[in-house]
Amino acid sequence: MEEIRNKVAESGLISLDLADFKPRQGTIKEIDIAEYLWQGLALREKDFREAVKQKDWNEYKDQNVYIHCTADAIVPTWAYMLIASQLEGVVKHYVVGSKADLEKNLIRENIAAFNPELPEYESKRYIIKGCADISSPEYAMTELMKKIQPTAKSIMYGEPCSTVPIFKRKA
């Protein structure tokens, strides 16, 4: 009887799962400046500064935070800066923008931590798995491709049983 072999494992392909680069669940918090608006229309500096001063910023400790305003109001730039100044040194990461903006930043950071120049990765053939529960998969895939392409022998998309060629280094 012929021995069963795992040809995918023997091929030297490195399979990268986008799920390995997504932010951990439960680490994302929101700060909506709309909560601080006077009558939902305007920001009163004195009231806003007092509210920021009284807020317990430790509720965001070691979290990833996005700061935005859901109300259709004119919010001065310094308001975002004032909140950011309170988050500095408390949170892991913060952005002014949407939750998607924050997730993209976190994905980019996680990808940046991957080192394709290590001997076990250099000049290898990669498969970027396509079925991942991740926000902005197109963004994550292209960021990962940018990271690995300089040292990759080839990059494919999909699963080992059916791949789409993306990049192949010229000999």
Span 129-154, pLDDT tens digits: 877 778 888 999 999 999 999 999 99
Domain membership of residue 69 as a residue range: 28-91
With 70 as the cut, is the pLDDT of residue 51 above it? yes
Same domain, 32 and 86: yes
With 80 as the cut, is the pLDDT of residue 4 above it? no
pLDDT of residue 7: 57
Confidence of residue 82 (pLDDT cuts 50, 70, 90): very high
Same domain, 74 and 129: no
pLDDT of residue 6: 58
Confidence of residue 8 (pLDDT cuts 50, 70, 90): low
The one-letter amino acid at 54: Q
Confidence of residue 118 (pLDDT cuts 50, 70, 90): confident
Same domain, 84 and 129: no
Q: Print burial letters for 55-77: b (CB count within 10 Å at least 16), e (below 16).
A: eebeebeebbbbbbbebeeebee
Q: Is residue 55 part of a domain?
A: yes
- The domain tally of the chain equals 2
Per-residue DSSP letter, 131:
-
Alpha-carbon 73 to chain mean position: 28
pLDDT of residue 11: 64
Q: Cβ neighbours of residue 29 under 8 Å, at least 6 residues apart?
A: 59, 60, 63, 64, 65, 66
pLDDT of residue 3: 76
Going from the C-alpha of 65 to that of each of 28, 71, 99, 121, 134, the distances in angstroms are 6, 18, 8, 33, 18
Same domain, 114 and 161: yes
Same domain, 56 and 34: yes
Same domain, 83 and 33: yes
Q: What is the spatial distance between Cα 118 and Cα 143, in angstroms, rounded to a whole number? A: 18
Q: Is residue 18 part of a domain?
A: yes
Q: Is residue 99 part of a domain?
A: no
Going by C-alpha positions, the residue among 112, 164, 108, 115 that lies closest to residue 136 is 108
The tokens describing 166, both together, are 């993306």
**pLDDT mean across residues, the chain:** 90
Same domain, 62 and 84: yes
**Bridging pattern class, strands 125-129 and 13-17:** parallel
Q: What is the spatial distance between Cα 144 and Cα 33, in angstroms, rounded to a whole number? A: 33
pTM of the model: 0.82
